[in-house]
Amino acid sequence: MGRSAVPGLLIAFAVLVAGLLLAFMVGRYPVSIADLFDVVVAKLSGHNSGVPAAAQNVIFLVRGPRVLAAAMVGAALSVAGTAFQGLFRNPLVSPDLLGASSGAALGAVIGIYFSLGILEIQGLAFIGGLVAVAAVYLIGSSMSPRDPILVLVLTGVVIGALLGAGVGLMKYIADQYNQLPAMTFWLLGSLAATNVTDLVPLFGPVAIGTLVLFALRWRMNAMSLPEEEARALGVPTGLLRIAIVVAATLVTSASVATAGIIGWVGLVVPHIARTLVGPDFSRLIPAAAFLGGGFLLVIDTIARTVTPTEIPLGILTAVVGTPFFIWLLASVSKTWA
Amino acid sequence: MKSRANISRRKVLTGLSATILVPRLASAFELTDATGRAVAIPDKVEHIFPAGPPASILLYTFAPELLLGWTRNPDPPQCALLGSGACDKPEVGRLTGRGNTTNLEVLIKLKPDLILDVGTINDTYISLAKRVQDETGIPYVLLDGRFDSAAQVYRQLGELTQRQSQAEEFARYADNAIKTVKGRIDQIPDALRPTVYYARGPRGLETGLGGSINVETIEFLGAHNVAGGQHGGMATVSMEQVLAWNPDVIVTIEPAFAASVRTDSVWAPVKAVQTNRVHLSPRLPFGWVDFPPSVNRLIGLWWLAKALYPAQFPEDLRPLARDFYKQFYHLTPTEAQIDSVLAGSP
């Protein structure tokens, strides 16, 4: 708590800016940095640049939207993870704990099974995530147990397994030549198909959810105290819990609907943010957003540049996330004491 | 017959070796299948169980009465283009591939004379064939599903069913089609062969890598698959990569993608879009280019050759399609049906 958090926040912001620059500058379509600069300046000043249309297309319609989407998805998952780790007072919690990802996955594979358009598939994924979390919350809180948090987590795990079985069933009955590969790509997470029209349905929920969580930052600080103490401080923990779950689910579902299942970001990034700026949510939330955005930008840049074909994001994040998770397990008592 | 089936099931349950069952099959001869296994073939082969979609289509084209049932029932638009009571057959599930949906007891109950699989030859499928044959006592023949093996596969099927002359008609069709098309393409210098991007998925960003079964006919026709540098199956690519490849021709099986690509500003700079060379593959009753990878791709060969090399293939596809459907799908389509198929109607 005592350490100065300003340099930490600055570092996090620098990571985001570096990620944005890197992501804009490299790609499979060769655009020189001079051309990139020309095109952006020309666009801003309303002139015509001499750069070929294809390169301009790449910058504004292909790479640009994808870079923005990667930054938003990374930030959203990290903020949601930060909120959930605070809410459940557990460092090993990720934003899909209450079934948001499994619900979204089931919605998406159902959409793919019925050969719907991409917007319908994303809509079903978004709704699937919200419905799954609502179901978990209603079932979990209808039991009025002694430990509401524990029951909520257990309900999330059980419902998640059920939804996973639903995904398995859809994959099993899907057409193996056509639908199954599409489902597999979606479940592994990718931003390959992102275009301009995806940005609005992504930005809306992410912005609203993040603002709500940021507005609740002081209450979340009090919430990390034991429940009795939080109540004594005048924080209504039940309502607050619902607000946090709704906001985090909103951003998670919107991210998963756009990018598919991307694990680890929401688990790993909050911890890096915590080591940078400490446990105060007023700094932790922006730091997690900056770091998460930067992290996913780097991951997505690797995914789209290393080979002519895309590497699924879920695979890359897991490769980075697993060693970190092991380190986390080994040192968890120290960080969270 | 009924007691025989009961005996065989009990034998399966008690785990006795299938060799004991061989005498009941009244084996007429042995056939060496694509895996190199010698399979004892009964003298009367009247009902054949298809192990997957490619085998069902092959059997249906050759002799509908041999086909015990479909792996997956054709839907009404497919049925409209299949003759000979194709859609009265039961659905029997899949025996190979990613998910096995056939219950072996049900398989035994159906009493096929033979199980036929057409597709990839590798150790997994060889051991599966062996295991199913041991467990059910039904001979299991695995034939090579590669596109250029079509004629050979028909001849082997003729041998299995002792309908050699009937098989020869189909084999000759395959031989002629491949020879004619290949003969014209061989004249085309490498530099004049187009680069092709095969687009799948709602946004057209899934493609077949080099050597994948999905782009087998595209590569067979000597065109340059832009994703052919990497080998494998299906993969996702980024839009940037497609722009960098800038293919001469786009072949797709997605009606939604084909409809949107011409007006999508992201795709506008691609050469194939600018020169109006985006081709939506016909898909009824079975796909002409990609799936299922069976003899349905024989007619697709003409369509694809015309799309890739329009100057060398000036002929009208409609009479070709009519003849093919008559011989292979046992139905003479109307002009309206042919036009609708060629337009790629779903």
**Cα–Cα dist B258/B343, whole Å:** 11
Do the Cβ atoms of A29 and B240 come within 8 Å?
yes
Given this model, what pLDDT does residue A96 score?
83
Cβ atoms of residues B342 and B316 within 8 Å: no
pLDDT, tens digit, 9 for 90 and up, residues A74-126: 999 999 999 998 888 888 888 888 888 999 999 999 998 988 877 888 899 99
Over 90: is that where the pLDDT of B141 sits?
A: yes
Residue A320 in tokens: 């980075």
**Cα–Cα dist B14/B270, whole Å:** 64
Q: Is the peptide bond before B292 cis (omega within 30 degrees of 0)?
A: yes
**The amino acid at A197:** T
Comparing CB atoms, the residue among A52, A57, A192 nearest residue B238 is A192
Do the Cβ atoms of A62 and B243 come within 8 Å?
yes
Confidence at B14, pLDDT banded by 50, 70, 90: very low
- Flag the least confident range among A198-207, B18-27, B59-68: B18-27
**Residue the block writes with tokens 């079985």:** A165
Q: How many residues make up chain A in this entry?
A: 337
Do the Cβ atoms of B99 and A29 come within 8 Å?
no
Residue A74 in tokens: 């990374």
Whether the predicted interface score ipTM is above 0.85: no
Given this model, what pLDDT does residue B129 score?
85
Cβ atoms of residues A273 and A78 within 8 Å: yes
pLDDT, tens digit, 9 for 90 and up, residues B226-263: 999 999 888 889 999 999 999 999 999 988 899 999 99
Over 80: is that where the pLDDT of B71 sits?
A: yes
Given this model, what pLDDT does residue A239 score?
84
Over 80: is that where the pLDDT of A177 sits?
A: no
Over 70: is that where the pLDDT of A3 sits?
A: no
Residue A45 in tokens: 């000043």
Q: Which residues of B touch A (CB under 8 A)?
A: 53, 72, 97-99, 101, 200-203, 205-207, 209, 214, 227, 229-230, 233-241, 243-244, 246, 253, 256, 265-266, 268-269, 290-293
Interface test with B, best of A309, A310, A316 (most B CBs within 10 A): A309
CA-based diameter of chain B, in Å? 69
Do the Cβ atoms of B227 and A30 come within 8 Å?
no
Cβ atoms of residues A66 and A259 within 8 Å: no
Given this model, what pLDDT does residue B152 score?
94
Show the beta-strand stretches assigned E in chain A. none
Chain B nearest C-alpha distance from A59 (Å):
9
Stretch A23-30: mean pLDDT: 89
Task: Give DSSP secondary structure letters for A42-76.
Answer: HHHHT---SS-HHHHHIIIIIIHHHHHHHHHHHHH
Chain B nearest C-alpha distance from A293 (Å):
20
Confidence at B11, pLDDT banded by 50, 70, 90: very low
Q: Is B296 exposed, middle or buried (0-12, 13-18, 19+ CB in 10 A)?
A: buried
Over 90: is that where the pLDDT of B322 sits?
A: yes
With the C-alpha atoms ordered A129, A132, A135, A140, is the resulting torsion angle positive or negative?
negative
Q: Which of B130, B135, B92 is nearest to B110 (CA)?
A: B92
Residue A89 in tokens: 């007072």
With the C-alpha atoms ordered B73, B79, B83, B84, is the resulting torsion angle positive or negative?
positive
For chain A, the first-to-last Cα distance in angstroms comes to 12
Residue A201 covered by a domain: yes
DSSP B18: G
Residue A210 covered by a domain: yes
Burial B155-172 (b: 16+ CB within 10 A, else e): bbbbebbeeeeebeebbe
Comparing CB atoms, the residue among A28, A53, A307 nearest residue B240 is A28
User: Do the strands B114-119 and B224-225 form a parallel or antiparallel pair, or are they unpaired?
Assistant: unpaired
- Stated pTM of the model: 0.82
pLDDT, tens digit, 9 for 90 and up, residues A310-334: 899 989 998 877 787 787 677 755 5
Domain with residue A40: its CATH number is: 1.10.3470.10
Chain B nearest C-alpha distance from A296 (Å):
16
Mean of per-residue pLDDT scores for chain A? 86
Given this model, what pLDDT does residue B27 score?
64
Given this model, what pLDDT does residue B23 score?
45
Confidence at B94, pLDDT banded by 50, 70, 90: confident
Given this model, what pLDDT does residue B213 score?
86
Residue A60 covered by a domain: yes
Give SS3 for B264: coil
Over 70: is that where the pLDDT of B9 sits?
A: no
| Cα pseudo-dihedral A74, A77, A81, A82, rounded to 10 | 50
Give SS3 for B75: coil
With the C-alpha atoms ordered A45, A51, A53, A57, is the resulting torsion angle positive or negative?
negative
Neighbouring residues of A199: CB distance < 8 A, sequence distance ≥ 6:
A65, A68, A69, A72
Interface A:B, Cβ pairs < 8 A: 101
**Cα–Cα dist B33/A301, whole Å:** 48
Given this model, what pLDDT does residue B6 score?
44
Cβ atoms of residues B110 and B46 within 8 Å: no
Over 70: is that where the pLDDT of A17 sits?
A: yes
Given this model, what pLDDT does residue B17 score?
44
Over 80: is that where the pLDDT of A231 sits?
A: no
Residue A1 covered by a domain: no
**Cα–Cα dist B334/B133, whole Å:** 43
Do the Cβ atoms of B205 and A193 come within 8 Å?
yes
A308 contacts on B by Cβ (under 8 Å): 227, 229-230, 237, 241
Q: Is B79 exposed, middle or buried (0-12, 13-18, 19+ CB in 10 A)?
A: middle
Domains located in chain B, CATH noted? 2-175 (3.40.50.1980), 189-314 (3.40.50.1980)
Chain B nearest C-alpha distance from A253 (Å):
21
Residue B152 C-beta-side C-alpha neighbours within 13 Å: 12
B251's enclosing H/E stretch is: strand B249-252
- Flag the least confident range among A227-231, B155-159, B208-212: A227-231
Given this model, what pLDDT does residue A193 score?
82
Over 70: is that where the pLDDT of B65 sits?
A: yes
Given this model, what pLDDT does residue A285 score?
95
For chain B, the first-to-last Cα distance in angstroms comes to 44
Look up the domain containing A331 and give its range. 6-336
Mean of per-residue pLDDT scores for chain B? 87
Query: From B208, which residue of chain A is nearest by alpha-carbon distance?
Result: A309
Q: Which of B340, B338, B329 is nearest to B86 (CA)?
A: B329
**The amino acid at B211:** G
The domain tally of chain A equals: 1
Chain A nearest C-alpha distance from B94 (Å):
11
Cβ atoms of residues B246 and B266 within 8 Å: no
Neighbouring residues of B308: CB distance < 8 A, sequence distance ≥ 6:
B193, B194, B196, B218, B221, B223, B249
Given this model, what pLDDT does residue B312 score?
93
